[in-house]
Amino acid sequence: MTAPVLEMRSIGKTFPGVKALSDVTLNVAPGEVHAICGENGAGKSTLMKVLSGVHPHGSYDGEILFQGAPCAFKDIGASEARGIVIIHQELALVPYLSIAENIFLGNEHARHGIISWNETLKHAAVLLKRVGLAEHPGTRVADIGVGKQQLVEIAKALAKEVKLLILDEPTAALNDGDSAQLLLLIKELKAQGITSIIISHKLNEIAEVADSVTILRDGRTIETLDVRDGATTEDRIIRGMVGRDLDHRFPERTPYEGDPEARPALEIRDWTVHHPIDQQRKVVDNVSIQVRRGEIVGIAGLMGAGRTELAMSVFGRSYGRDISGTVLKDGREIRTRTVPEAVAHGIAYVTEDRKQYGLNLIDTIGRNITLSALPKVARRGIVDEHEETRVAESYRRSMNIKAPTVFEQVGRLSGGNQQKVVLSKWIFAGPDVLLLDEPTRGIDVGAKYEIYTVIDRLAAQGKAVVFISSELPELLGMCDRVYTMAAGRLTGEIPRADATQEVLMRHMTRNTR
């Protein structure tokens, strides 16, 4: 039997008040694609940070062997010198530098302190060809999409003569086309002898590219499965992740049975939004939608369809220029020119980018939950900290936010728990209408189910919910109706009974010009 290229033995890692890893073991064979699965908070990213030196030797228990030799990495530079390169979920590229400059940042082609740009551009072109990216090496990273940026990160890793490539949620922010291209590249790298570790919540992708999968739960190794035998199904992986069979991916709910002629809680008429820079381009073009109390209405569309732009522009004109159209709440026209105006009218927006726009990552759970409605926990303009703690603690329990106290820093929480904090923040504001933009992005199946349950509960309470998602099964499992968009225009309105993935995709790809 071939000796493992990587062995992690009895790894333990503790943060203040939290045991993140306990006696974790991981063995990776040379040349394989090894997946790591687990619920949010299971310890996947922490384990990879231990391996890559982000958490330095001495800050954790256990030992690491790479290519048979013990490792004691003091930082990420030490692991990269051995050929172990990690690509984090949040890409570490400088947007205003060129692709070539990013690839060799900190690893420049230089003689006597002077960079050789000819050599840099020539070598960058070779690496870009290797990862299948046709962009010129001199192109600014800011001028290419997220999918291409992910390929630049891999080219950057190849420039460091990578032997073990670690990809943390590499397709979380990619559309289907970019995801497929990235998975194909991982297979090609495997053929070139590069070993990969991939962390992903997308079990269909694991089934496509992985040779083995190690499942973590509550900071411990549960089991390692051989995916190549064909017997390892998505349901089998889920059972290992959550510790039980997940009979249904979505909670049972009674579809909306209200009066179809009832006055909508939210109605958007003839809504048009222009791009903030290219003012000639319409990113939302004459869109009209409506949602009633107790109803969950989905919005489906491919990348660039205008879904997020629609939601953000309605919510206080947070995106776009030259916005026109009408917003009605319970049949009465309202103004939502600013975020405070939108909130005052009972509209909440849960952003797709919780880390940048949804949370203050360096503040506590309690402060984040009450931010959207501070007057509720204030007396004479001063926040009552006891009341704030009481409110936050009630949401921590009811939303099952996994943290020892509400004084825990939000940035230390897993993605699923961060999303629960975002939802708690807006539920505390007491909205009538919730605009949910990719509310389960980057979240494992167990946490997704919990969030679906919360959304169902809100609809049952009479809230009107707009549910934007790139995952068609999610829309089919949660929504009473689904609107489809393409190139900024509305292309269809499909009731639950008629909605299938094929029908939605047909409308999502309709030519609107």
Task: Please give the pLDDT value at position 342.
Answer: 93
Pairing of strands 195-199, 33-37: parallel
Pairing of strands 382-383, 464-468: unpaired
CA atoms of 424 and 188, how far apart (whole Å): 43
Hey, is 313 helix, strand or coil?
helix
The CATH-assigned architecture of domain 6-242 is 3-Layer(aba) Sandwich (3.40)
| Residue 455: alpha-carbon gap to chain centroid | 18
Please write the tens of the pLDDT for every residue from 152-162.
988 988 888 88
Q: Is the pLDDT of residue 246 over 60?
A: no
CATH topology of domain 256-346+431-513: Rossmann fold (3.40.50)
6-242 and 256-346+431-513 in the same fold: yes
Task: Of 240-244, 387-391, 397-401, give the lowest mean pLDDT range.
Answer: 240-244
Over residues 452-473, the mean pLDDT reads: 91
Over residues 185-206, the mean pLDDT reads: 88
CA atoms of 115 and 403, how far apart (whole Å): 48
- Name the band, by pLDDT with cuts 50, 70 and 90, for residue 180: confident
Q: Is the pLDDT of residue 398 over 60?
A: yes
Q: Which two tokens stand for residue 43?
A: 């310890």
Q: Is the pLDDT of residue 186 over 60?
A: yes
Q: Is the pLDDT of residue 277 over 70?
A: yes
- Name the band, by pLDDT with cuts 50, 70 and 90, for residue 394: very high
- Name the band, by pLDDT with cuts 50, 70 and 90, for residue 289: very high
Please write the tens of the pLDDT for every residue from 404-443.
899 999 988 877 888 889 999 999 988 999 999 988 877 7
Torsion of CA 395, 247, 238, 39, to 10 degrees: 0
C-beta separation of 479 from 298 below 8 A: yes
CA atoms of 236 and 436, how far apart (whole Å): 30
Phi and psi of 119, rounded to 5°? Answer: -65, -40
- Letter string b/e over residues 192-225, b meaning 16 or more CB atoms within 10 A of that residue's CB: eebbbbbbbbbbebbbbbbbbbbbbbbbbbbebb
CA atoms of 302 and 307, how far apart (whole Å): 9
Task: Please give the pLDDT value at position 17.
Answer: 66
CA atoms of 32 and 191, how far apart (whole Å): 9
Q: Check residue 218 and report its DSSP letter.
A: T
The domain ranges of the chain are 6-242, 256-346+431-513, 354-430
CA atoms of 490 and 127, how far apart (whole Å): 40
Instruction: List all residues 6 or more positions away from 300 whose beta carbon is below 8 Å from its beta carbon.
Output: 307, 469, 472, 475, 482, 483, 484, 485, 504, 507, 508
Task: Please give the pLDDT value at position 329.
Answer: 94
Task: Of 95-104, 109-118, 119-128, 484-493, give the lowest mean pLDDT range.
Answer: 109-118
pTM of the model: 0.65
- Name the band, by pLDDT with cuts 50, 70 and 90, for residue 352: confident
Task: Please give the pLDDT value at position 294.
Answer: 92
Tokens 């959304």 locate to 455
Phi and psi of 279, rounded to 5°? Answer: -70, -10
CA atoms of 466 and 434, how far apart (whole Å): 6
Please write the tens of the pLDDT for every residue from 296-334.
999 998 777 899 999 999 999 998 889 999 999 999 999
Q: Is the pLDDT of residue 151 over 60?
A: yes
Over residues 124-153, the mean pLDDT reads: 88
Task: Of 84-93, 108-117, 166-175, give the lowest mean pLDDT range.
Answer: 166-175
Q: Which two tokens stand for residue 323?
A: 């916005």
